Amino acid sequence: MIRVAMTSVYVDDVARAHAFYTGVLGFETRLHVDPGDGAPFVTVGAPEGAQRELQLLLEPGGGPVAEPYRTALYEAGIPCIVFSVDDLRAEYERLRGLGVRFTHPPRDQGPVLAAVFDDTVGNLVQLTQPVG
């Protein structure tokens, strides 16, 4: 069986991304290694047991491939990653209360309720909740 172990999201600033993804979104730090070259290797993940092994790498996004890719996604309004939540409306209100800027509030999108926010480090992120 093949499982997803790690995926990445390109970010403007790893330290700011780490603070946002842990302090605001509630992820926990899984790895934080500083190899001494000024580019720390940082991963975060959901604190729940079911996804314990899945990690999100906060990857520096200023390179010649990453920067145009991130910019194109952002300008087109396309989220770079999708997270699932149990109660989207409650999470939307919690995050708004913490100052998170949403580009669209919760709305029905077929089989899911979805909302999109700016992660403060160059990306749009979608939150979804299955409907029914």
Q: What is the pLDDT of residues 79-91, one digit of tens each?
A: 999 999 999 999 9
Is 89 strand, coil or helix?
helix
Query: CA–CA separation, 102 vs 113, rounded Å?
Result: 14
pLDDT for 132 beyond 90: no
- Architecture of the domain defined by 6-130: Roll (3.10)
- Predicted TM-score (pTM) of the model is 0.91
Q: Which pLDDT score, from 0 to 100, does residue 106 have?
A: 98
* Helix residue spans in 10-65 (DSSP H): 14-19
> What pLDDT band is residue 50 in, cutting at 50, 70 and 90?
low
